Structure 1
């Protein structure tokens, strides 16, 4: 079962072989949550998630297919497999009795795009105002892409990034990435 009856990037993909291999592709659907909870209650929330929530802004935690990035002192962006969504929601509903918090399902709002290859940071740098190459692997942030679209940017590895972008901006981001990838391929 997919979460989006019409995924805006379905069937898309950008693959370059020169000057260096570069792949830009839509990533599989997943459940996405915006979590706001007292930082002192991170352990309780981590237990429900089955993932240790990072404590420092910009840090990312991984556990299998689960991911959490700390976006603020009391804010995390969490992704989990679709199959785990109901369990996570039920666990946080039970936690609410002991610890008030906000867990908002934003799954249908966003899509994910993966960018991988030696020039991945260069591709992103053309649309992001800070030094993308200076991001450490295992870090993430909320930022603006091409001065228009809010994204969550994760650097999973030295040459691998992930963008989560609102559905309504996904085609704009995708077309921008296509143009930049083509410029890199042509050495412009």
Structure 2
């Protein structure tokens, strides 16, 4: 992890190690069959996620999942061997992930996100906006989030997060 910061705002922001990340699209009626082929659990409800030996999947839409694979090559090979129509796109290089944790994390994220973040349950997630950047938030615990950001928006998102930390620490 390249960078970690914590201050009196009570939030730690750290870079996460790169991961094999995929965008998966499959028709709802073929979801279960493809999930079995890939060795993944693909949740049906938007905003829910599931873990399996092959990785973790977050449902972003009725036919769309963000997949974090433990072995990207194995997942790709299983997908290629399948005769189930689907789209599996490797987006590993498109995004970086930050871990945001601590008692002030909801305040920090609310500085740039219009969504009611407290309504995302631990174990859930959502695609949303942070300032003008599209991000995916994974809520790992009451005070723990992961944020996936397109690389080109990373400087902007980091700037807003750092300013929000300063403001929270100052009681603004």
TM-score, normalization by structure 1? 0.85
Residue aligning to 1:74:
63
Q: Give 2:145's match in structure 1, choosing from 152, 161, 164.
A: 161
CA RMSD in angstroms comes to 1.6
* SS across alignment from 1:56: coil
| 1:184 shift after superposition | 1.4
| 2:39 is the counterpart of 1:50 | yes
* Alignment of 1:179 onto 2:166: no
Aligned structure 1 segments of 4 or more residues deviating by more than 3 angstroms: none
Query: Any gaps of 5 or more consecutive residues in structure 1?
Result: 1-9
Q: How does 1:128-147 map to 2 (within 5 A)?
A: 128-146=113-131
SS of the residue corresponding to residue 107 of structure 1 reads coil
C-alpha separation in 2, matches of 1:185 and 1:14:
13
Query: What's 1:7 paired with?
Result: none
Count of equivalent residues: 172
1:90 aligned residue: 77
Per the TM alignment, residue 137 of structure 1 is displaced from its structure 2 partner at its CA by 1.1
Structure 2: unaligned runs, 5 residues or longer: none
Q: Distance in 2 between matches of 1:142 and 1:55?
A: 16
Query: TM-score normalized by structure 2?
Result: 0.93
